[in-house]
Copies of this chain bind each other. A is one copy, B any other.
């Protein structure tokens, strides 16, 4: 078994006959090093196969080049898409991400925040459908920057990247209304979460109002979870309310709702229309394919991370709350 002594900056300094300070400067491409000295040092670095210890660096510089990412569930394709965007940009800017699944559960979120702070992450990207008071206070008490990705904050206290959910749902509801539906359902995993309560449902109401159709509380449905199965289980309730169309705030849930209808012999879209929200790949995989709001999922993640890098470097940012463009994609689950 080879001894594999770890080679440190001292070893490099000795071999290159310079001080460790010079080695440090050389590997960090500090300009105060004569080019030939830098070359000499870098040659030794290569020869000894020296690799700086980021932990030591972190302690000395108080920067870890690591950001914490809190995600409800990697398994959810919406958030997974954002995560991918986040990671790509992180890599581009030489950061790594510590990924933590929270299930949108406050306890887990708080625990994650705690260990992330212990690990001295330079910044935080938070995804989740709601920001509880405890989480809010935790995040605002630390001095590291945070940005919400695809997540809203009712108090509008943090930086964020989203689309205009209200307008998007407004436009989408309009379509369904135009198709002649007067009992269109709104379904979300949790109705009382800010993203639904303050944005999507408002958009939905706006559209109803503009169309002169009364808003009915009974047409608001809750799936409890953002999963296919929980959507699938909604059928009876939907049928009972004689709903002929539904706006769904999550693709998995929407697929569940739609398949459930189809499976029971209700024809989509002829007898029942479904429109969903995220345009994940899933919307193309179902039959019929799902009409949806189109969101730049990857970009929401990417832009969030980009924004975070600016905040971590104390650069000026023009917008605290970025809204990316959305669209409407008409596929086969609507007329």
What is the minimal beta-carbon distance from A155 to any residue of chain B, in angstroms? 19
Nearest opposing residue in chain B for A116, CB measure: B96
A220 to chain B, nearest CB (A): 25
Segment of A77-85, A162-170, A236-244 in the binding face = A77-85
Counting chain A residues whose Cβ lies within 8 A of the other chain, the interface size class is: 35 or more
Per-residue interface assignment for chain A, residues 118 to 154, with 1 indicating a CB less than 8 Å from any chain B CB and 0 otherwise: 1110000000000000000000000100000000000
Grouping DSSP codes into helix (H, G, I), strand (E, B) and loop, the A interface class, with mixed when no group exceeds half, is: helix
CB pair B284–A287 under 8 Å, yes or no, is no
Alpha-carbon distance between A98 and B255 when the two chains are bound, in angstroms: 32
CB neighbours (8 Å) of A29 from chain B are none
- A218 adjacent to chain B (CB < 8 Å): no
Shortest Cβ distance from A265 into chain B, in angstroms? 13
Extra 4 A-B pairs, beta carbons < 8 Å, given A54-B120, A87-B101, A286-B287: A55-B120, A74-B87, A91-B100, A286-B286
Q: Does A37 contact B (CB under 8 A)?
A: no
Are B53 and A55 within 8 A (Cβ)? no
Interface contact B55-A64, CB-CB below 8 Å: yes
Please give the residue numbers on chain A whose beta carbons come within 8 Å of chain B beta carbons, in ascending order.
Answer: 4, 51-56, 58-59, 64, 66, 73-75, 77, 80-81, 83-84, 87-88, 91, 96-101, 114-120, 143, 228, 252, 255-256, 259, 262, 281-282, 284-287
Residues of B within 8 A of A98 (CB): 66, 96-99
Partner among B74, B75, B119, B259 whose Cβ is within 8 Å of the Cβ of A285: B259
Whether the Cβ atoms of B101 and A55 lie closer than 8 Å is no
Complex Cα distance, B52 from A69, in Å, reads: 20
Structural contact, B228 and A118, CB atoms closer than 8 A: no
| CA of A312 to CA of B98, assembled, Å | 19
Contact in complex: A99, B101 (CB < 8 Å): no
Taking a contact as CB atoms closer than 8 A, the residue among B54, B59, B77 that contacts A77 in the complex is: B77
